[in-house]
A and B are shown apart, each in its own frame.
Chain A
């Protein structure tokens, strides 16, 4: 299984809502990533988990809260988002440093 799955595919939320994005991989990868991608822009790294520990936080606002419950799962908890947070949120995983990243299909988030 070389697939990364993400749920939900689409999410519309108000600025006062709390929601979570989920990501799962069963490739035995020990590194998992969250990216944000705006239209016609490259993916922008948000967080990296390595061996279930937060390795990188790219100065992301605290209204985004990542969680790695186990080696196969990655969550992104959302609270009090702003309209400018509307974007495609991509999860990815890799064997480790300097290896191919496998991306999930993304969650298209709209904040109203």
Chain B
């Protein structure tokens, strides 16, 4: 069945450093790839998304890259801040379908 693998499960960085989270999806029909941030005790919130017709998208300190051939996409956070500490989930959904498959999540710690 469809699957999204996410690595690493835990990531600890120093404030100001960059953080990279990587995901691989199995369904080649996937065409929409959102990234959600979930702070402790709060709801998941979209931070950036990318569609399969685009290779890269950037929003201030956050960027996402997509390699359709390798079925691989990544989240890049530059100049990390303590408030970036949270769990980040990558996800994938296929064209014509409502089902979103989530990765297992990455717990990011940013040390001040």
Contact = CB atoms under 8 A, between A and B. Distances in A.
Contacts, number: 49
Contacts of B102: 42-44
Nearest to A106: B43
A6 B45 CA distance: 15
Interface residues of A, number: 23
B105 A90 contact: no
Contact of A98 (B32, B42, B43, B44): B32
B49 A100 contact: yes
B107 to A, nearest CB: 8
Given A45-B99, A55-B98, A98 B31 contact: yes
Contacts of B42: 105
B43 to A, nearest CB: 4
Interface stretch (B13-21, B57-65, B69-77, B88-96): B88-96
A42 to B, nearest CB: 4
Nearest 5 CB-CB pairs, A to B?
A42-B102, A98-B32, A103-B43, A48-B98, A100-B46
Given A100-B49, A103-B43, 6 more contacts: A43-B44, A56-B98, A98-B31, A98-B93, A100-B34, A102-B46
